[in-house]
Structure 1
Amino acid sequence: MPDLVEVLDEPLGKVRRLIDEHHLVGSRRTGVFAVPSLFIVDGRPLSSLRGTIIVLQDAGFTDDELIDWLLAEEESMGRSPIAALLAGHKSEVRRIARTLA
């Protein structure tokens, strides 16, 4: 969390709220809570990430599964969902995510 506070230049309470409100998602796989750096653009959470996180959680994904799916190559897109979100193609990503339920 201290690194996330520094990267976002926000107080810890605000960072926790961003996570609670699904603007960001992270994992404790390594024992330390971590958010993939691709989820932060110019010191802010990627704006299209929140809705995508919610769609995937509604489909029953855990945070770890959600992160894995966003970072893995998606055959139907020919790239990873996070790459598509970074390129501005949130509708395509969310359409595919809705089919995963």
Structure 2
Amino acid sequence: MSAIPIADDVLDPAVEVLTLRDVADRLDRSVSRVQQALRDGQLLAVRRKGELLVPAMFLTDENEVVKGLTGTITVLVDSGYSPSEILRWLFTSDDSLPGTPIEALRGDRGREVKRRAQALAF
């Protein structure tokens, strides 16, 4: 079994985060399935005070993973970005979106976010 990739805690302290148990409960999965999603690059986690945490913005109000998030993570990983760099990019404001890439994904602007992620590779 491979290790769970953990990003440096590059998130603003104001960003809401969820424990793996909270994510599992919201997605109606086991914690081990959430851990597998982290290993598979479907989600990203940071470690704070010894605990793995996932940004709450990665889940919708309907308790699903935000549409387009996994594909965006995959594009950025394939482009050589580390988990920390991906988190930083997802949560950094971009006036041309406007807002952050994660807000754009949540707002159904995934195509534009993925296009920008692909452009970062070149």
Q: TM-score scaled to structure 2, two decimals?
A: 0.72
Q: 2:63 corresponds to which letter in structure 1?
A: G
Counterpart in the other structure of 2:4:
none
Q: 1:15 corresponds to which letter in structure 2?
A: V
Counterpart in the other structure of 1:26:
45
Matching residue within 93, 97, 103 for 1:73: 93
- Look up the SS of the partner of 2:47 in the other structure: coil
Unaligned runs of at least 5 residues, structure 2: 1-19
Counterpart in the other structure of 2:23:
4
Count residues with an aligned counterpart. Answer: 101
Give me the CA root mean square deviation.
Answer: 1.7
- Look up the SS of the partner of 1:24 in the other structure: coil
Sequence identity of aligned pairs in percent?
Answer: 33
Inter-partner Cα distance in structure 2 for 1:90 and 1:79 = 13
Query: Pairwise mapping of residues 57-96 of structure 1 onto structure 2 (< 5 A)?
Result: 57-96=77-116
Q: 1:39 corresponds to which letter in structure 2?
A: F
Report how far residue 11 of structure 1 moved.
Answer: 0.9
Counterpart in the other structure of 1:56:
76
Q: TM-score scaled to structure 1, two decimals?
A: 0.85
Report how far residue 64 of structure 1 moved.
Answer: 1.4
Unaligned runs of at least 5 residues, structure 1: none
Bigger fraction of residues in strand: 2
Counterpart in the other structure of 2:5:
none
8 A contact 1:27–1:63 mirrored in 2 = no
